[in-house]
């Protein structure tokens, strides 16, 4: 069971590879790729790079045979997301939800840091008083 590299989504501004392990069909990978792209299509994001690994357990008695792990670097931050589900579509949907939640938290942290920064002197922040 060696992972096979499925490639990157060429039409987007980010480079996230989707890799498959086990008996994963192309339709399932295409759906995962679409959902990951939808989660990462957010205006104002810095450079995005990473990998999503999708696996299907070979044992038939497993309750949730589909699993995914994503390690995606957004600017200087690393987002790590894991999910397990009963079907490939449910897995892709769960992965999208978790990626979107992590990105929302990251964007909120960036916004909070930007808002709490001291404004420069020409915008009314602390600085030297004008000598008149």
Query: Taking residues 60-89, what's their average pLDDT?
Result: 92
pLDDT at position 115, please? 62
pLDDT at 117 over 70: no
Residues 6+ apart with CB under 8 A from 104: none
Q: What is the pLDDT of residues 80-94, one digit of tens each?
A: 999 999 999 999 999
Class at the top of the CATH hierarchy for domain 4-114: alpha beta
| 8 A C-beta contact, residue 54 and residue 20 | yes
Beta strands at 15-22 and 48-56: parallel, antiparallel or unpaired: parallel
Domains of the chain, residue spans: 4-114
| d(C-alpha 11, C-alpha 77), whole Å | 23
pLDDT at 7 over 70: no
Beta bridge partners of 86: none
| d(C-alpha 19, C-alpha 5), whole Å | 5
Residues 6+ apart with CB under 8 A from 43: none
């Amino acid at each position: 069971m060696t992972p096979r590299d499925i490639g990157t989504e060429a039409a987007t501004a980010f480079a996230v590879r989707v890799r498959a392990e086990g008996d994963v069909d192309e339709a399932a990978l295409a759906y995962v790729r679409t959902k990951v792209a939808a989660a990462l299509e957010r205006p104002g994001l810095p450079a995005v790079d990473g990998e999503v690994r999708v696996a299907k357990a070979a044992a038939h008695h497993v309750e949730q045979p589909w699993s995914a792990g994503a390690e995606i670097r957004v600017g200087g931050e690393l987002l790590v997301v894991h999910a397990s589900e009963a079907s490939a579509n449910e897995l892709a949907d769960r992965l999208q939800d978790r990626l979107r939640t992590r990105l929302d938290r990251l964007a909120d942290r960036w916004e909070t840091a930007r808002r709490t920064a001291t404004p420069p002197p020409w915008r009314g922040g602390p600085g030297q008083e004008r000598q008149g």
